[in-house]
């Protein structure tokens, strides 16, 4: 079935990056590189039918979130707005409702970054971009500052064609990674600053040294910041990512809150899921006055 009406409807919502992937996916030869942190294991990453019986196609949507600012921030850009999971789910529900009106007998399953499926591979198969050397998914216009959401459907939509474009392989992400986690063209997440800022418990001196290399206390944008594919990209067309932004968290502000107050104030933010203590720990590490461990 033709997907043009669906794409027109998505554009009316401000979603101009929608593609269709086949529900019959081949496991890529570079499986570990493509999905090093996927929740699923092996074949589950590439089998939509485990989530939706009789799945016939996957509707894949990119959600650009880039918002430039000259104000210094200690939070990764992806955490500065309301939690992206909530924003993506709201839009996917609208797409699901549209499909149910168009195809009353259809069934659907929504995926917003928490399913076992390999989101980046689905987005590639849907013709929306390519996977860079920094393991980020890159769109030709919006760069890598994009979230990925999917709607599994029993409607047999015609798949789009994957792009042949690929990363510049310039090495900028490798050279600027605080943890040097790109080793021999592989990605070692245990040295990724974004991972370490979310890791529970006490960190080792080498891990602390990685966190101290940049001001961010949650996440890490370095490999995206230096990527040539992210130069001169437009601001996000999705208004939810432009509103209610938080750029800085301060130690005294967090210390003044009880855990319940923290959850009430920041519970709808992506940086809050690990709790207040992790943020305070990272603030201690990134404070210029803190001692080198």
Do 263 and 128 lie in one domain? The reply is no
Show the domain range for 81. Answer: 4-153
Contact criterion met (CB below 8 Å) for 249 and 74: yes
Contact criterion met (CB below 8 Å) for 91 and 149: yes
Alpha-carbon gap, residue 116 to 122, rounded angstroms: 12
Do 9 and 137 lie in one domain? The reply is yes
Question: For every one of its 293 residues, what pLDDT tens digit does the chain have, with 9 covering 90 and above?
Answer: 789 999 999 999 999 999 999 999 988 766 555 565 554 557 888 999 999 999 999 999 999 999 999 999 999 999 999 999 999 999 999 999 999 999 999 999 999 988 999 999 999 999 999 999 999 999 999 999 999 999 999 999 999 999 999 999 999 999 999 999 988 778 899 999 999 999 999 999 999 999 999 999 999 999 999 999 999 999 999 999 999 999 999 999 999 999 999 999 999 999 999 999 999 999 999 986 444 44
Q: Does some domain include residue 167?
A: no
Residue after which a domain boundary falls, among 153, 187, 222: 153
Alpha-carbon gap, residue 180 to 125, rounded angstroms: 29
Alpha-carbon gap, residue 247 to 145, rounded angstroms: 17
Q: Does some domain include residue 123?
A: yes
Q: Which residues pair with 138 in a beta bridge?
A: 130
Task: Evaluate the CA torsion angle 236, 269, 80, 143 in order and state its sign.
Answer: negative
57-64 and 18-22 as β-strands: parallel, antiparallel, unpaired? antiparallel
pLDDT of residue 44: 82
pLDDT of residue 18: 98
Do 18 and 138 lie in one domain? The reply is yes
Instruction: Look at the chain and report how many structural domains it folds into.
Output: 2
3-state secondary structure of 79: helix
Q: Does some domain include residue 161?
A: no
Do 267 and 206 lie in one domain? The reply is yes
Q: Does some domain include residue 239?
A: no
Alpha-carbon gap, residue 44 to 53, rounded angstroms: 13
Residue after which a domain boundary falls, among 98, 119, 153: 153
Alpha-carbon gap, residue 229 to 225, rounded angstroms: 10
For residue 9, what are its two tokens?
């409807």
Q: Does some domain include residue 158?
A: no
Indicate the Cα dihedral angle 279, 285, 288, 293, nearest 10°.
170
Do 205 and 256 lie in one domain? The reply is yes
pLDDT of residue 43: 81
Contact criterion met (CB below 8 Å) for 233 and 143: yes
Query: What does the DSSP 8-state code read for residue 139?
Result: B
Q: Does some domain include residue 205?
A: yes
**CB atoms closer than 10 angstroms to residue 163:** 16
Q: Does some domain include residue 162?
A: no
Could you tell me the pTM of the whole model? 0.93
């Amino acid at each position: 079935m033709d997907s043009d009406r669906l794409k027109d409807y998505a554009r009316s919502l401000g979603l101009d990056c929608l593609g269709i992937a086949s529900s019959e996916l081949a496991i890529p030869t570079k499986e570990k590189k493509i999905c090093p942190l996927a929740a699923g294991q092996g074949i589950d990453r590439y089998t939509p039918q485990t989530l939706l019986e009789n799945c016939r196609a996957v509707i894949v949507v990119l959600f650009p979130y880039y918002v430039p600012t000259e104000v210094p921030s200690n939070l990764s850009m992806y955490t500065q707005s309301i939690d992206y999971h909530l924003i993506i789910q709201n839009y996917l529900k609208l797409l699901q409702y549209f499909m149910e009106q168009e195809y009353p007998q259809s069934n659907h399953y929504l995926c917003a970054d928490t399913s076992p499926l390999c989101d980046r591979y689905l987005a590639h198969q849907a013709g929306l971009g390519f996977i860079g050397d920094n393991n980020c998914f890159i769109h030709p216009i919006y760069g890598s500052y994009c979230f990925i959401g999917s709607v599994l459907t029993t409607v047999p939509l015609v798949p789009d064609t994957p792009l042949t474009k690929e990363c510049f392989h310039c090495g900028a992400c490798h050279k600027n990674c605080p943890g040097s986690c790109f080793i021999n063209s592989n990605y070692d997440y245990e040295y990724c600053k974004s991972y370490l800022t979310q890791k529970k418990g006490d960190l080792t001196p080498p891990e602390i040294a990685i966190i101290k290399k940049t001001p961010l206390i949650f996440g890490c944008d370095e490999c995206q910041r230096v990527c040539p594919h992210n130069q001169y990209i437009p601001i996000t067309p999705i208004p939810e990512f432009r509103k209610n932004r938080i750029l800085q968290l301060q130690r005294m502000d967090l210390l003044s809150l009880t855990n319940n107050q923290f959850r009430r104030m920041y519970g709808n933010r992506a940086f809050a899921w690990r709790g207040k203590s992790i943020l305070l720990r990272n603030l201690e590490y990134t404070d210029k006055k803190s001692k080198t461990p």
